Structure 1
Amino acid sequence: MNNNSYIPTANLSGLRCEDNSLHEEAIHQAQANLIDGLTATRLAAAFQALSDPTRVRLISALLEQELCVHDLAAVLGMSQSATSHQLRVLRALGLVRTRKEGRIVYYALDDEHIRELFQRGLEHIRHQQNFQLP
């Protein structure tokens, strides 16, 4: 099992709907609000990128300021090559952007939505005190 994709399910056993009837109004409302397949695929790709702890830490490092790859590598204690590889993934998905100043390339969060998404996720994890990895 890949620990990066661990999802706790211990507390979910025994939950079963005993009424097989459909709730038509609820179904129609859910269908009306359902996102299209392409949007779902793009969103899943962004969340998949955030399933890697290194990339999550990179996002964390960029919350308050832009940094170059050398600085990010030092912050995370990683090689420049490994850091650059992870930044390419985040950039390809539109989660970070770059700005070049002379010979230095700076990385920053693409927009405020990324910061908000990260902070909401962090609040959620901190709120769930029972959530523990194996």
Structure 2
Amino acid sequence: MHLTEPPDGTTEDAARLEQRHRALNENHGVCDAIAALPSGETMHAWVTRFALLADPTRLTLLLCIHAAGEICVSDLAVAAGLKDTTTSQALRLLRAQGLVATQRAGRVVRYRLADETVHALLHEVVGHQVSL
């Protein structure tokens, strides 16, 4: 796609197109902003990751795992105040997306964070809690 073409492929009116040309030629901030945008595939991955974090149940589980390091499903359910089945379903999704991993010790399966970016983000969030 050329920088002056709209991303959706529609035609812009002449005034809007002229404004875009002027911004690209006069304002390097616009070029920097455009250059900073990730590829569509990367953007989709970010959206998926943020959507997983936006769910209160999954975020609660991730925060509990972050604090515990490794924890089994039943202990995690107690810590999060959830039913075992609810916990297992959420963990299944988090595992499928690579945010958590498991380690089996006999019949006990322990969960841990597997995504370093999410781990760092949770560490940052816990360190900067805000009250609304």
Q: TM-score, normalised by structure 2?
A: 0.72
Quick one: distance in 1 between partners of 2:128 and 2:71?
26
For residues 27-58 of structure 1, give each alpha carbon's deviation from its aligned partner in whole angstroms, at most 9, with x where no partner exists.
22222221000111011111001111111111
- Where in structure 2 are the equivalents of 1:97-116 lying within 5 Å? 97-116=101-120
- Where in structure 2 are the equivalents of 1:73-112 lying within 5 Å? 73-112=77-116
**Structure with the greater relative contact order (CA < 8 A, sep ≥ 6): 1 or 2?**
1
Quick one: distance in 1 between partners of 2:60 and 2:97?
16
SS in 2 for 1:50: helix
Amino acid at match of 1:52: D
SS in 1 for 2:111: strand
Q: Which structure would you say has the larger Rg?
A: 2
1:124 Cα offset (Å): 5.1
1:111 Cα offset (Å): 3.9
- Where in structure 2 are the equivalents of 1:37-76 lying within 5 Å? 37-63=40-66, 64-76=68-80
CA contact (8 A) 2:98 2:115 kept: no
Question: Structure 1 124/35 Cα, relative in aligned 2: closer, same or farther at 3 Å?
Answer: farther
The two structures, once aligned, show a CA RMSD in angstroms of: 2.0
| Runs of at least 4 residues off by over 3 Å | 121-125
Say how many residue pairs are matched: 109
Amino acid at match of 1:51: A
Quick one: distance in 2 between partners of 1:80 and 1:51?
21
